[in-house]
Amino acid sequence: MPFREDIQKKIIDTLSPHVKVVSIDFEGPSIVVLIDDSRKFYTEGCDKLIKQLAKDLKKHLIIRCDPRGRLRKSEAEKKIHEILRNIVGEDIVDSIYFDELLGDVYIYLKRPIRNKKKIEHTIFAETGWRAIITPTALEMARRLPRQEIEYVRQIQIAMAKERAEFLRALGRRIHRDPVFRDTYVRITVLGAGFEVGRSAILIQTRESSVLLDCGIKPGYPHDEYPFLDVVDIDRLDAVVISHAHMDHVGFVPFLYKYGYKGPVYMTEPTKYLMEILVSDYIELCEREGKQPPFSKKDLTTALYHTITIDYDDTTDIAPDIKLTFSDAGHEIGSAISHLHIGNGLYNIVYTGDFKYGPTRLLNVANKKFKRVELLIMESTYGGKNDIQESRDEAERRLIDCVRKTIERGGKVLIPAFSTGRAQELLLILNDAVERKLLPKTMKIYVDGMILETLNVHLMFPDYLNRNVRELIYDGVNPFLSDNVEPVERPKRPEKRYEQVMSIVKGDPCVILAPHGMLNGGPILDYFVHLADDERSTLLFVSYQAENTLGRRILQGERKLTLKYYNEEVKVEVRMNVESIQGFSGHSDRRQLLAYVRDVEPRPSKIVLVHGEQSKILSLALTIELSMKIPVLTPGDLESIRLVP
């Protein structure tokens, strides 16, 4: 399709007095401007012009240099090493990969660095190759497994040609002129309506169709999936993922298994976490003798169709829809999605899971947007009595519980999700040992995907709060200490049994492992052997969904029949059971209400999802009575027409 003349003219008129514009083309949601001289681009101040141009055009722009203006790969590689030595003070390059088709150079570093953007710009100016720097945190994560992290990199390299073709085709689809001038906006809840889990919300206009999240609902005896049978896969323009927990991202590969060929948008940390957690889900299904709903091949397809977006970058994802991510404060890379539909027609803010309160690990969720007609908000803790204790009180209770259990010779078993809660607990426990609030000799065993996801936190410190971020930039790994013992699962089952039993029969300790709802995963290996130990404690720190093993235990069940390694085992729970909700990555009722009050600008309507029915209805009534904002509470498969 021909490039829009008004956009082309604006770009050429702005840049041509300074550099020669060789060509302008599409690449996925971005417009690629090819110039003849990368050094001149900066000396002439074109970098500042491009920022203003992107703002004026409301488009995401990528600047690349014509192949004739690039250094040969051998010379460019030598120059990259030199630049990093000069700026950082040492050569911390792990590996370099040149994508000759696009003109990009991927630079993998051994540890995170400050001023990454500045270094990328310097490399582009001096080599002509568009630099994309990714820290691998090798120096800080020597004791952590890295297979899944490396797999993401391998896909990026192996599928470079296919990805380039995909992006160009996608660009033509996104940047075409809208066919329909008059439109409607409709949302349909395909999951998480009056329930927690399998989040999926379909946004439709006459022009386009976008799916917000696509997750799995863990349950007993079977997981549940979104109602995708009502979605026309061939007409789906985009999938937008808020974060990497399985109830939001876990069913994405299924879309590709059944013919979806479009993009999935998420932040960079979420891409790595998706690979880690979904791979683990596939392996867990196979270990338990269940048929996973998709394969590793489907996950690989999803990964090379993934387009990552930074916070605050506005990106076209359909001819009539722009997307902007902002920090949700729930886990690393979690994002609140702002959808701008049409030419000022309608604006939707979808919170996903969010935390409107301080934590040791993350920033508080963003509350400011340019426009908000509709706020779609999670309601996990929307019930009348869902008031979490303060973070300080939660930390005090955690340390007190661990200390008492250790003193009586027991072990503290903490089911934790692989991202968010696990990392925060490690920060707190390490700090407590350092301050002598817990024994200096106490071991903290960390098992399962928590180990892989620790890599992601070390790779992307800019997504963490300032205190943790600065520690990582200074070369400190705040998650590992002499007390923390990573437990990497051996391949042979008998070796795994020996590994678990050595910990179970060993000295008093803390064991941190997924799944956070005790619904499978490495945590069960310890639970079945510790459940009858009256000295030990089972400590819940995360939300326990309906029909999960964790919820059943919290509700008082003590005699259980579990499916464990393809066999049914009977377990009697004699260990102490405690729950501390102050560590939740979800906003409690007070924070949910505060968020509605504080969101700028004030939304015209609110849709509540991702909560049990009683909690959603209670929260909806309070919002309507106290803030006079209309609240809609759709169930699964219900649609709401918003415009006209």
Other Cβ atoms closer than 10 A to 285: 16
Distance CA 324, CA 332 (A): 17
Mean pLDDT score of the chain: 92
List phi, psi (to 5°) of 507: -70, 160
Q: Highest mean pLDDT: which of 9-18, 537-546, 628-637?
A: 628-637
By three-state DSSP, how is residue 642 classified?
Answer: strand
One-letter amino acid of 139: E
Whether residue 181 has pLDDT greater than 80: no
Give mean pLDDT, residues 227-247: 96
| Tokens representing residue 519 in the block | 């619904």
pLDDT of res. 1: 42
Q: 548 pLDDT band (50/70/90 cuts)?
A: confident
Residue 155 C-beta-side C-alpha neighbours within 13 Å? 21
| Tokens representing residue 301 in the block | 């397809």
pLDDT in tens, 435-458: 999 999 999 999 988 988 999 999
| Tokens representing residue 278 in the block | 């979904």
Helices (H), strands (E): how many in the chain? 20, 28
Whether residue 529 has pLDDT greater than 50: yes
pLDDT of res. 542: 86
Nearest residue to 279 via CA among 499, 136, 452:
452
Give mean pLDDT, residues 467-472: 94
pLDDT of res. 333: 97
The torsion of the CA quartet 549, 610, 265, 147, rounded to 10 degrees, works out to: -10
Return the DSSP state at 118: H
Nearest residue to 22 via CA among 45, 48, 41, 44:
41
Edge-first strand listing for the sheet containing 484-487:
484-487, 443-447, 509-513, 412-415, 537-540, 576-579
By three-state DSSP, how is residue 401 classified?
Answer: helix
Q: 137 pLDDT band (50/70/90 cuts)?
A: confident
Give mean pLDDT, residues 339-358: 95
Give the pTM. 0.94
One-letter amino acid of 395: E
Structural domains of the chain, ranges and CATH numbers in brackets: 5-68 (3.30.300.230), 72-135 (3.30.300.20), 183-385+585-643 (3.60.15.10), 391-583 (3.40.50.10890)
pLDDT of res. 146: 77
By three-state DSSP, how is residue 105 classified?
Answer: strand
One-letter amino acid of 358: P
320, 489 Cβ separation under 8 angstroms: no
624, 630 Cβ separation under 8 angstroms: yes
pLDDT of res. 519: 82
Please report, for residues 275, 303, 380, 541, the alpha-carbon distance to residue 449 in angstroms, rounded to integers and kept in the order given: 11, 18, 24, 17
Q: 72 pLDDT band (50/70/90 cuts)?
A: very high
pLDDT of res. 3: 56
pLDDT in tens, 6-49: 888 899 999 989 999 999 999 999 999 999 999 999 888 888 89
Distance CA 274, CA 327 (A): 18
Looking at 148-157, 257-266, 294-303, which range is the least confident one?
Answer: 148-157
Give mean pLDDT, residues 534-543: 94
Asked whether the CA dihedral 311, 316, 318, 319 is positive or negative, the reply is positive
